Chains A and B, each alone.
Chain A
Amino acid sequence: MKLETRQFGPLEVEPASILTFASGLLGFEELKRFVLLERPEIAPLEWLQSVENPQIVFTVIDPTVVFGNYQPDLSPEDWEALGLSEGEPVTVRVLVTVPKDPADMTANLLGPLVINTAQGKGRQVVLVNSEYPVRQRLLPEPAAV
């Protein structure tokens, strides 16, 4: 199907690749459908483009690329929303915020996106009992001069 996007212009996407976030993303509750796009120009980052709003696109990253031991602990409610049994494999992405100076980019480890790829279901999880930060630097702090 054809998708209108601000970032990429018209885009042809497989209907099967559309992910449904039944609860939307926090602050974007009205947007339920997204596609995950891998593009060489932003690898290892990926795009998460809204299907419903061409203007809305997020950058995400597979957290294991940078944070090898990152382990979001999902609640029974989260597993149910994803249509999975506890402990089944899920795809995890974290939202990346890139400020003016890209070296200061941060990843949101407290509110990861978990995805059941086979069923095209996604959910932004809030890891209530974890110590993970909302803004975790992806690059080390610049050394003090």
Chain B
Amino acid sequence: MLVLNRKPNQSIMIGEDIEVVILEVKGDNVKVGLKAPRNVPVFRQELLAELKAENQRAAAQASPEAAAQLLKQVIQKPQA
């Protein structure tokens, strides 16, 4: 891993069009600004980890037949 030291208001370029700006450092919190083209997805790493974990949970289940029965009851009474 590349390790760089930065001070507030200094930034790092990734390629030509992605800029990571260190905005503020307060205790153990770092406020980071990101400038990236719209087609570059940017998200917290935890979000991706959460989605992966949810997919794993979804795949591990046994039989959804009972769930389907419950859903049918709800759908047959459509809400206004």
In the complex, whether B42 has a CB less than 8 A from a CB of chain A is yes
Q: Which residue of B lies closest to A27 (CB)?
A: B52
Is there an interface contact between B39 and A111, defined as CB atoms closer than 8 Å? no
Q: From residue 51 to 74 of chain B, which have CB atoms closer than 8 A to chain A? A: 51-59, 61-62, 64-68, 70-72, 74
Is there an interface contact between A44 and B51, defined as CB atoms closer than 8 Å? no
Is there an interface contact between B41 and A108, defined as CB atoms closer than 8 Å? no
Interface residues on A, range: 35 or more
Query: Are A96 and B39 also in contact (CB < 8 A) when A41-B68, A126-B51, A139-B70 are?
Result: no
**Chain A residues with Cβ under 8 A from B39's Cβ?**
75-77
In the complex, whether A84 has a CB less than 8 A from a CB of chain B is no
B-contact bits for A41-66, CB 8 A (1 contact / 0 none): 11111000000000011110100011
Instruction: List 20 additional contacts besides A97-B54, A134-B54; criterion CB under 8 Å.
Output: A26-B52, A27-B51, A42-B68, A44-B68, A44-B72, A45-B68, A56-B59, A59-B64, A76-B38, A96-B67, A98-B64, A98-B67, A105-B67, A105-B70, A105-B71, A108-B51, A110-B51, A124-B55, A139-B70, A139-B71
Binding site for B on A (CB under 8 A): 25-28, 41-45, 56-59, 61, 65-66, 75-77, 95-99, 102-103, 105, 108, 110-111, 124, 126, 128, 134-135, 138-139
